[in-house]
Amino acid sequence: MSQTWIILGAGSAMGRAFARKAATQGAHLVLAARDQDDLARTAADSLARGAASAAAVLFDVRKPESFAPIYDAAKANDGIINAAVFVGSMAPQADVDADPNTGDLTIQDSFTGPVNFLHGLAPIMEDRKGGTVLGIGSVAGDRGRIGNYTYGAAKAGFHTYLSGLRNRLNRSGGHVVTVKPGFVDTAMTWGIEGMFLVASPEQIADDLWTAHEKRKNTLYTPFFWRYIMAIIKAIPEPIFKKLSV
Amino acid sequence: MRWKTAELTGWGRVLSGTAELARPEKPAALSAILTDTPAPAIGAQRSYGDAAVNSDGRAIDMTRLDRFISFDMDTGILHAEAGCSITDMLDTFAPKGWMPAVMPGTGFATLGGCIAHDVHGKNHHKAGTFGQHVLEIELAGADGRTATVTPDSDPALFKATIGGLGQTGAILSAKIRMIPCSSRLIQVDERRAANLAEFMEMLKASNATYCVGWIDGTANGRSLGRGILEEAELTSSNMAPKLRKPRKVPFNAPKFALSPPTVRLFNRMYFNRIPKQGRGVLRSLKDFFFPLDKIHDWNKLYGKRGFHQFQCVLPDETAERTLRDMLRLIADAGLASPLAVLKRTGPGRAGPLSFPMEGFTLALDFPNSENARALVTQLNTLTADAGGRIYFAKDSLATAAQAHKMYPELADWQNTVEAADPQGVFKTDLVRRLKLRTPA
């Protein structure tokens, strides 16, 4: 059966690494991001690596009118439609504290935008009776921490949505993976102090593909973040509220 | 763009420096950096010395710009971003019947790095250097402007860029012509060479497409210069190569790992492993071309002190005498590691700063120490006296005077480079150390 992958945020390092993975598996790709020239490059790269086709569609998570062309591009292919959602933004908490409107944008980019996109996609996936959604959340969504709780809250909201969507798509043979990456070596984390156990985008992409094939529900990647977060989540609130982890 | 304070280190881990490093992921981000703060572009940082080090300056890491832009199945012409690795090209296109015409000893090297050092491979005597298979280069100059440079559009700039150590600008992408590859396996014939004279005869007589020799840097006396000749041809076998997981050197090895008795013993076993009458084996392309890539971070085997790689090329007229002198010095010093290569080189070179010349090339690693530095300094002098050259991708100990003597076309190169980068924004530690941009 022919497989189509929509890659939302194909301009990000993780999105690009995943596009490569899907391309080498011979999938049809619908690559969506903001930078047209860069997208065209990634589309060409995907074709050279074995993608059955690669459409480059301009997409801005803050512009809902950019969603329909992506649905259309995916529907143009026969078979199963999958989606990997890499969009999101992380404004530094200090910026959000200084201007609360900045928080709105983080929430729109990481939560409400992707949710609206997926809600438009769900009926199409149901129609095709299958498909996987890889929703990129974050370990930051597991507990609100002083360093980035607006971003964390947006991701927590996204996790909850993904869990509901999993419940829904399961009825038509579809599946949703809630992905919680730890620190990944991308432009977003480049040069930021205090990074540790940083994973490469390729490592994450491999994990994502395995999680898709094995229909995992929740994926911590790299795997050890499951244990790190288990500890963070287990700290009693009276103590946790005094920590700056 | 965010800059990260990073320690830039040559692969030999002897020369290093702290620099502000940017790593753009999109062409637009790169172009913004080059317009505002032009700086040398660096690749996989696999050169051994200080070619990719810019102490107390800035540098641009190109490894995230690593996409294939176009590929023509009929002609084998590939257009790719500069950060693409050779391994990636081989992995992607060998199953489709094409491979890079020239491959250096590590597949981690990037397209940009291979051009900037005009690297050669085990087929230099037949195929020439990497740069001889480059059709066009997209180059961002010191003024931030991008131009497509071909041998016709600007022959001087094109040549000065190949082997040009990044001094003409940042290589953004390039078009190369690949060669057909009938399978992913290669037939390798291995034979013993009892001493230097025999070894050189065998290398000269070989007509194989790929030809390389392992040389025992610890052998002395009658066995001086003994080694193993490897001749290889692509096969038409359609077997899939065995996939092996790379292993990693997790920590700096202790000193005894490469102490003289260990190396002598290892080398004797390595030599005797090949039967007297020789043998033929089938290897995967990657095992043959990049034998050390299977061991990630193998440079840690030399411990914290690091190591020096000496590589010279010697013209035919002086090669045998000079090699004999060099190998005696090396064997007497007892400092060599098992990694040592003797190879025949052809006349092929693509730029004024390209390393190869017709003759023989010798490459050896020495764990870093005062004695090793003294030995390499002696070897550099012997090279200069013999009319040979040392390789900028490997060097950490040559002098400016030697470099100027070894590269007689340096003045021409300097003229082109000064026009392209009058402010010297692309200078690196290597260029400063060897005064490559200072007129003689």
Q: What does the pLDDT look like over B324-338, one tens digit per residue?
A: 999 999 999 999 888
Q: What is the pLDDT of residue B385?
A: 97
Distance CA B88, CA B64 (A): 13
Residues B87 and B139 in one domain: yes
3-state helix, strand, coil in chain A (%, to 5): 50, 15, 35
Contact between chains at A38 and B69 (C-beta distance less than 8 A): no
Of B61, B92, B110, the domain-final residue: B61
| CATH number of the domain residue B86 falls in | 3.30.465.10
Contact between chains at A38 and B68 (C-beta distance less than 8 A): no
Q: What is the pLDDT of residue B425?
A: 97
The residue segments making up the domain with residue B397 are: 185-403
Whether residue B431 is contained in a domain is answered as no
Contact between chains at A190 and B27 (C-beta distance less than 8 A): no
| Residue B58 near chain A (CB below 8 Å) | no
Percent of chain A with pLDDT over 90: 91
Whether residue B326 is contained in a domain is answered as yes
Whether residue B57 is contained in a domain is answered as yes
Q: Name which residue leads in pLDDT, B266 or B243.
A: B266
Whether residue B418 is contained in a domain is answered as no
Whether residue B429 is contained in a domain is answered as no
Q: How confident is the model at residue A196 (pLDDT cuts 50, 70, 90)?
A: confident
| Residue A230 near chain B (CB below 8 Å) | no
Kindly list the residues from chain B whose CB atom is less than 8 angstroms away from the CB atom of residue A192.
2
Of B134, B162, B181, the domain-final residue: B181
Contact between B39 and B425 (Cβ < 8 Å)? yes
Q: How confident is the model at residue B259 (pLDDT cuts 50, 70, 90)?
A: confident
Closest Cα of chain B to A204: distance in Å? 16
| CATH number of the domain residue B34 falls in | 3.30.43
List the structure tokens of B181: 């590859």
Residues B190 and B305 in one domain: yes
Helices (H), A25-133: 36-48, 68-75, 93-98, 100-107, 113-128
pTM above 0.80, yes or no: yes
Residues B39 and B80 in one domain: no
Residues B76 and B111 in one domain: yes
**Residue of chain A whose Cα is closest to the Cα of B3:** A191
| Residue B266 near chain A (CB below 8 Å) | no
B64, pLDDT greater than 80: yes
Whether residue B72 is contained in a domain is answered as yes
Contact between B89 and B114 (Cβ < 8 Å)? no
Contact between chains at A186 and B29 (C-beta distance less than 8 A): no
Contact between chains at B25 and A49 (C-beta distance less than 8 A): no
B244, pLDDT greater than 90: no
Interface residue of B21, B25, B111 to substitute, partner A, most A CBs within 10 Å: B25
Residues B204 and B85 in one domain: no
pLDDT digits (tens, 9 = 90+) for A23-32: 999 999 999 9
Closest Cα of chain B to A168: distance in Å? 36
Residues B190 and B82 in one domain: no
| Residue B245 near chain A (CB below 8 Å) | no
By residue count, chain B amounts to 440
Distance CA A131, CA A81 (A): 5
Residues B24 and B47 in one domain: yes
Whether residue B432 is contained in a domain is answered as no
Of B147, B181, B215, the domain-final residue: B181
Side by side, which strands form the sheet with B170-177?
B68-72, B77-81, B170-177, B134-140, B146-149
Interface of A with B in 99-158 (CB under 8 A): none
Helices (H), B123-163: 124-127, 155-161
Q: Which domains does chain A have, with CATH numbers?
A: 3-240 (3.40.50.720)
CB within 8 A of A14, min separation 6: which ones?
A86, A136, A181, A184, A186, A201, A204, A205
Residues B158 and B232 in one domain: no
List the structure tokens of B175: 């078009």
Residues B322 and B271 in one domain: yes
CB within 8 A of B435, min separation 6: which ones?
B400, B403, B404
Q: Report the amino acid identity of residue B326.
A: M
Which residue is associated with the tokens 């085997």?
B301
| Residue B279 near chain A (CB below 8 Å) | no
**Residue of chain B whose Cα is closest to the Cα of A192:** B4
Instruction: Find the Cα–Cα–Cα–Cα dihedral A231, A201, B170, B79, rounded to 10°.
Output: 180
Q: What is the pLDDT of residue B243?
A: 66
Cβ-Cβ contacts under 8 Å between A and B: the total is 47
Residues B314 and B355 in one domain: yes
Q: Worst-scoring range by mean pLDDT, A24-38, B326-340, B405-419, B421-435?
A: B326-340
Cα B137 from chain centre? 20
Domain tally for chain B?
A: 3
**Residue of chain B whose Cα is closest to the Cα of A201:** B64
Distance CA B330, CA B338 (A): 12
Residues B343 and B198 in one domain: yes
Residues B22 and B37 in one domain: yes
Distance CA B401, CA B51 (A): 18
Instruction: Say whether the ipTM exceeds 0.90.
Output: yes
The stretch B179-206 carries a mean pLDDT of 95
Whether residue B101 is contained in a domain is answered as yes
Cis amide linkage into residue B261, ω under 30° from 0 = no
**What string of H, E and C letters represents the secondary structure of B78-100?**
EEEECCCEHHHHHHHHHHHCEEC
Kindly list the residues from chain A whose CB atom is less than 8 angstroms away from the CB atom of residue B92.
48-49
